[in-house]
Structure 1
Amino acid sequence: MPAEPARDEPGRDVPPSVLRTIADNLHVLEDRSGRSERVVAELLIETGRRPDEICALRYHCLRQDAQGKYVLVYDNSKANRPERRLPIADATAQLVRGQQEHVRATYPSTSLEQVALFPRDYRNRDGKRPLTAVNFGDAHRKFIDLIADQLCDADGSPYPAREVVPYSYRHSYAQRHADAGTAPDVLRDLMDHRSINTTMGYYRVSEKRTRGAIDMVATHQFDGQARPVLGAVGGLLSHEHARLRVGQVAVPFGTCTEPSNVKAGGHACPFKYTCVGCGHFRSDASYLPELKAYLQQLLADRERLLAADELQDWARRKVIPADEEITQLRGLIRRIEADLQDLTDADRATIEDAVAVVRAARATVSLGMPQVRPAATRKRDTDAVDD
């Protein structure tokens, strides 16, 4: 019997819009539970550590490396790996500094080698007993319930408060790095995993999230002449989404809707890949880095060919980038940037989040056909896996 179809399972990370709401309301957590609980929440969001790892931090948990950059020293109790070192930003280090000053003022007679960075509030006269993850979890749950009516997904729909738990911030930390293009092996080190497979499970971009991001970005799509493309974009994405995931068919700097090229998976352009000058070409904000890089390449090629004395005039005219292409490409870039600037701050942040998701999905999707390598190569790979 065929296997059951895979169901779209929501990730455990918290959407950026929900994280912003939580960050804006951390004063509610401090007013209700105390300063330590607020700082714990901030460190969970900024560092992606497990709740018990942050709650158990000692006073001297902040160090500087050889370059003078801050690192957080913590114990990975789950894997029994003490004295782990995590690079952190200066702003995160200042959070720790502020908490250290608070603890030193609260427990002046306790040795700094013994005092906890986050002492519990009861039965803890000398400040040596740390806040437990269970107690923080209770305070966090009551805080989230207080602001539950403000939690909204990127599309404005209510976000279920029950899904926001302290461990979610670890998944969100991994997802932010994945969206930013952090390599899996680097993220494995940041997450302090032994296996890369464990890391890959943290920053999976779900089908539902990717689809929503694609639909969001598609509403701000333009053709090569910088004209908005609204028409049948929704229908096209609907019937080709399972095949392409991130648009129609991928071409440099955007997507293509030319039927024969789409059928051939992007390898049969009838116009020799003159994308910007073609009516089938589409682009959007998620391709801005590629569009700008292409413009810089055209300008550099133009200067190099103008300075090439060995070329005859007819040869130079044949290969030099056309002024019309450069002008049209500049216009497209400016039109996309102007479209983003015309949005409200909230809408612009939503589009930027969607662009990050689309780019992350695009980086993991291969539109080519798989290749079978020689048997000797496969044997070496098998041996490497066994090792």
Structure 2
Amino acid sequence: MDEVPGAFALSPAFHQIDAQEEAEDELGRAIPEHVIAQLDERLHLIGTSYERGGWTSGDYARMYAAYYRIVRDTGRRPEEAARLKRGCVKWVDGKPTLIYDNLKRRRYGRRLPITEATARDIEAWEKDLSVLPVRDLGKEWLFSAPGQNRTLRGHMSAHHFSSKVFRTWVNRIPALLGEGLDDEGDPIPLDRSEITLYGLRHAYAQRHADAGVAVDHLRELMDHREIDTTMGYFKVSLERKRKAVESVAPLTTDRHGNSRGYSDALAYEGQTVAVPYGGCSELLRVGHRSGDGPWGATDETPGLLIEMSDVSTTLSVFSLATDRVTPVRSR
């Protein structure tokens, strides 16, 4: 290597590897709303047999239930919810606002509009907490850690809740059903490994997207920098796709400029057949040329050929007339 010229050596001044920016959020799968409803019905099963620092197992259960509801209803990251402080609900013009810290991006004192029901849940737990013994280290936190811990952390651990409390609770529920039925007509059991605490944040985004919240507004609610990050949190539902098709249908025209859209959704369903990515109104084409068959010309082809011939004739006549015209110079 001594023979290699020094110009080939790496120099920090001219050769730097581009730093990859840390992902703003975790990717995952939203917990479906019907599954969240099943979790809510079994919320009384959440808890632990652990007792310490003057707290009973019932006290822990109430704290865990309140924490779950806050993550579910606010869509905050689990660690952000665990680090909420007492008095985090502020009322402005009679409307509640949650004050939290975006730890991922170091944006503190963020404000999130919440429902009155969520505000009451937070204030109810804060009232219960006020009569429980809490170490000095945990007096400022909404979810205090009454026991001693090695990291001198005064609040509950989001990781412990996710990996221990939440997972134990989900596995304890007798039956969690997914969507649809099997071949025997029985409900399909849900894969419990797909239910994660972070999935509640994705469900929050999906719920708002299904309600028609604009993506730029949803980005603000999720407190993302980029819209692309927000768009990775939800999927466009079939119902919204259908509404989009129906809104554009009246504007659809044929080659003559006549309207070809369907103003009535029922009429569209009755005169079309389901195909991948939508519906097709040319039933014979679907019936005879589906599968791996070759592509077939539509009914518009003969008309288009006639129009092309007319245009070609018009251009020829125009060209011939232009060649025979002698320009007249003005004096």
Bin for the TM-score computed over the shorter chain: 0.5 to 0.7
Which residue of 2 is the match for residue 189 of structure 1? 220
CA distance in 2 between partners of 1:278 and 1:53 (Å): 44
After superposition, the Cα gap between the structure-2 partners of 1:252 and 1:273, relative to the gap in structure 1 and judged at 3 Å, is: farther
Per-residue deviation at 1:121? 4.1
TM-score (norm 2): 0.59
CA distance in 2 between partners of 1:159 and 1:77 (Å): 32
> Is residue 130 from structure 1 mapped to residue 116 from structure 2 by the alignment?
no
One-letter code of the match for 2:118? T
Which residue of 1 is the match for residue 90 of structure 2? 63
Per-residue deviation at 1:275? 4.8
DSSP-derived class of the 1:101 partner: helix
DSSP-derived class of the 2:209 partner: helix
Note the alpha carbon deviations across 1:69-126, whole angstroms, 9 max, x for none: 11111111111111111100000000011111011011389699x43211124228xx
CA distance in 1 between partners of 2:219 and 2:253 (Å): 35
After superposition, the Cα gap between the structure-2 partners of 1:181 and 1:122, relative to the gap in structure 1 and judged at 3 Å, is: same
On the 8 A contact 2:86/2:140 being kept in 1, the answer is yes
> Is residue 161 from structure 1 mapped to residue 192 from structure 2 by the alignment?
yes
Higher helix fraction (1 or 2): 1
Which residue of 2 is the match for residue 354 of structure 1? none
Give me the CA root mean square deviation.
3.6
**Superposition pairs of residues 1-387 of structure 1, within 5 angstroms:** 12-30=29-47, 34-65=61-92, 67-107=93-133, 114-123=139-148, 129-137=154-162, 138-147=164-173, 149-153=175-179, 156-205=187-236, 210=237, 246=242, 250-252=245-247, 266-268=252-254, 275=262, 280-282=267-269
Note the alpha carbon deviations across 1:284-325, whole angstroms, 9 max, x for none: xxxxxxxxxxxxxxxxxxxxxxxxxxxxxxxxxxxxxxxxxx
One-letter code of the match for 1:191? M
After superposition, the Cα gap between the structure-2 partners of 1:28 and 1:279, relative to the gap in structure 1 and judged at 3 Å, is: closer
CA distance in 1 between partners of 2:242 and 2:264 (Å): 22
Per-residue deviation at 1:187? 0.6
One-letter code of the match for 2:126? Q
Larger Rg: 2
Larger mean Cα displacement after TM superposition, 93-102 or 194-203: 194-203
One-letter code of the match for 1:174? A
Per-residue deviation at 1:272? 5.0
One-letter code of the match for 2:119? A
Aligned length, in residue pairs: 225
Per-residue deviation at 1:152? 2.2
User: Which ranges of structure 1 fall in alignment gaps of 5 or more residues?
Assistant: 1-9, 218-244, 257-264, 284-387
DSSP-derived class of the 1:106 partner: coil
DSSP-derived class of the 1:63 partner: strand
CA distance in 1 between partners of 2:74 and 2:32 (Å): 16
After superposition, the Cα gap between the structure-2 partners of 1:178 and 1:268, relative to the gap in structure 1 and judged at 3 Å, is: same
Note the alpha carbon deviations across 1:258-290, whole angstroms, 9 max, x for none: xxxxxxx9423998569568995338xxxxxxx
